[in-house]
Copies of this chain bind each other. A is one copy, B any other.
């Protein structure tokens, strides 16, 4: 397929000139413009299928609302959404809600005012806000599984897997870090872990954490080993918290995974670079974003919808903060 560089070469002009012709901005000599247009036609150039449709009908917008893009779980999710909507000729209007209902409402208003074709929202307020009355399609992503349309990961099963793996690999005094109460997926994974630990022959403690912030993660990790110095297993509420637990355990001179095993949740990109690299429950963040976009775009296009609720599987990623099964199974 021809690129803008090919067009520039064929027309013997710069890329900037081709861009000016395409954008209809800035001065371009009539002869030059014709040469560029001829090259575009001859090479059958369009930036891609999307762009062609954009020229025809103008672009369309999707509203995307996330709690906070600086939480490393969300960029992958956003990327999945963007790649899919972009492929289908849509663009993203993007906002962070900070889990604040007024801010969320304000964004929804703006989305509607900007005539978005649909909204994808990672919201904890699905019940309280009136997405279903907006008269435009919406999909809840990650946070709420109770909407009319939703895409989320199987957090409960994730919690079960984490507990099973850490017990099977030999931990007997386990601390579970419970994530923020208002975050449904955090509660699901906590419940799943509890379910398995309750049936196991191990001691366990629960420590509640009230956010997923970097600053606080460090404090919780310190508190954890102060309160439970004998902990030989930690099921963290997410990978950020797990990173803080690795840091604190290393600082205290504990051997990982010999003295203490640690399992995270999410599998953010940096998890494999931690030392030891983090064993974690992987949520397919990018795929979740894509599936949400597909589900929304199917609604918009009135295509048949197989399932209104898409629950994606989670998987245990075995790295080096857990012991090998052969040695401890």
Contacts and interface: CB of A to CB of B under 8 A. Distances in A.
Given A82-B95, A92-B95, A114-B91, A101 B4 contact: yes
A50 interface: yes
Contacts of A50: 106
A317 interface: no
A132 to B, nearest CB: 8
Nearest to A135: B25
A86 interface: yes
Contacts of A78: 69
B270 A20 contact: no
How many residues of A sit at the interface, in one of the four size bands?
35 or more
Interface stretch (A54-62, A193-201, A308-316): A54-62
Given A23-B133, A54-B113, A272 B214 contact: yes
Interface in A1-33: 3-5, 14-16, 19-20, 22-23, 25-26
Given A101-B5, A106-B48, A109-B22, A269 B95 contact: no
A315 to B, nearest CB: 18
A105 B20 CA distance: 10
A26 B130 contact: yes
A228 interface: no
A49 to B, nearest CB: 11
A318 B231 CA distance: 31
A113 B57 CA distance: 10
B93 A91 contact: yes
Contact of A273 (B129, B243, B272): B243
Interface stretch (A34-42, A176-184, A246-254, A290-298): A246-254
A199 B193 CA distance: 58
A108 interface: yes
A96 interface: yes
A94 B96 contact: no
Contacts of A130: 16, 19-20, 23, 25-26
